[in-house]
Every structure is written in structure tokens, then in C-alpha cells.
Amino acid sequence: MDVKAVGIVGKKRMGKVVQTACELFHWLEARGVECVLEEDLATASEMIPRAPREELARGVDLLVVLGGDGTLLSAARLVAESGVPILGVNAGGLGFLTEVALDELYQVMELVLKGKTTVIKRAMLEATVLRGGEEVTRHHVLNDVVVNKGALARIIDLETHIDDHYLTTFKADGLIISSPAGSTAYNLSAGGPIVHPSLGCIILTPICPHTLTNRPLILPEDRTIGVSVGSVDGEVFLTFDGQVGYRVEEGDHLRVRTSPHKVSLIKSPHRTFYEVLRSKLKWGER
């Protein structure tokens, strides 16, 4: 990978992220690499080139994300179509997506500039909402699409089809449709399975189902999941990667399938997925 221009985004509310972004800018500049920061991160210096977040992926060969998994999820949607690789650097503890620790940043960046790192592809999901047969919104997500009732809503009916085949009508608080990369997010907390992120599949996990025999289901990646919302007593929402919300109306139809886009991530040279699992989930500790 030939890196001549780098964009930097980050969690601007963290002081060390702003400081690191500015330091990384000067570090890259000294090595002849062009660099541009997200507008809000560039406040520390009037001399640092900046751009709105939605424009940052244009014209760069690499996007450095400083923050956590949530920051990376929003960045992934920015580069979904362009395919610009992401280096996720966690400013706190290690993340499932942001594998590189802050104190490893420059060591890993040296490897990136020398072309000695590995780029891995992670599948995304494409979610479309139809209302009266007309498309009203469409999103590409890295982790999950969630149908969830509001605080005062009763159990909701979610008639679910796989391709053209009726599966069941979930009577539940909601339904999580997850990618393999998202299996360790909301899916895991709702009792869903951990799936290696390189596998090709889609995971369905009901949230607090009224029927206790309803269990998570792993489907091949080439399937299309259709979910029709039954009678709505209260508020029902869709969330995309836990960051973008959309209010659902009775009769709305959700269609989820594997996206044609993939996210390219720079793999940490220091740890595997299994090491991240042990660290995050504290396996083996007493």
C-alpha cells in the first residue's frame, strides 16, 4: 500500500486525541506525507489543513481513526464506497475494531509507510426501509441494524422472512441483525454467538423474545432478511450501528443483505482476534 496522503478523524472530546492528532500531523509532514485533519481536531493549530468529516476520505490513501470502536464505526460509513483503508487506534482500552493501542501508533505507522502491514476486509450490511413500496432510507453499516421498541412500547411483532421463505414472527423487544464484525457488540450482550469476523454470514438475534424457544440464527451471507413491523403500540426505532436512528411506522418493511461494500482495516501486527477476545472478555481471569 503506497501512502502519500493521510486523513485523521478522532473523538474530539478527548484531549489526548486532539494532541495526538496534531503530533501525528507533524510526524507525517516530516516524512513527506500529506495530511489533513477533521475540522474539529484541527483547532490546536491554524496551520494544519482541515476538512469536514464527510469530505475527509476524498483524496487520501489512509484514514487514521483516533478514539474507540464507535468512532471507527462512523468513519467506516464515510469510506464505505471509496474503500480507503482505516487504521483504528484506541485512545482508551483495546477495542474489537480499534486493535492498535495509542502507544503503538508510531511503530505501526512506520510499518504502514514501509508497506509491511496487512489489510483485512470486513463485510458490511446494507439496510433499506420500504414504506408503501417506496424506499425511504438506506444505510450501509459495519456492525448491526437493530429494530427496538421505545421505553413505553409493548412487545412488537416482527414478521421475518429469509429470501422468500417465512421464518417466524418474533414477538420481542426487538431484533438485532448483525455482521460477523458486529457479533461482539450488541449481539453478544443479547446472548448472540461470537463469530470470527472473517466469516461470511449474517446473524439474527431476538431481544428478550416472548417465546423462549426463539434463539439466535446464523445465515449464509448471500441471504436477504425481510422484516415487516406489525401493529405499533408506542414508538419503534431502527438504529444503524447504534449511531443513526430512524423511527419506524406500522407496516414498514426492513430489508437487510450483505453490502456490496467492504471496510478495509489495517491489521494490528501485535495481536490476533483471539488475544483481543481474551483481553476484552477477560477470559481465564478469576
- Residues recognised as catalytic: 69
What is the C-alpha separation between 172 and 155, in angstroms, rounded? Answer: 5
Residue by residue, DSSP assigns 21-63 as HHHHHHHHHHTT-EEEEEGGGGGG-TTS-EE-GGGTTTT-SEE
132: left (phi over 0), alpha (psi -120 to 50) or beta: left
The Cα–Cα gap between 277 and 282 comes to: 8
Query: How far is the C-alpha of 253 from the C-alpha of 285, rounded, in Å?
Result: 44
The count of other CB atoms within 10 Å of the CB of residue 116 is 11
In angstroms, the CA 85 to CA 57 distance is 10
Q: Could you give the CA distance from residue 156 to residue 174 in angstroms, rounded to a whole number?
A: 7
Q: What are phi and psi for residue 278, nearest 5 degrees?
A: -60, -40
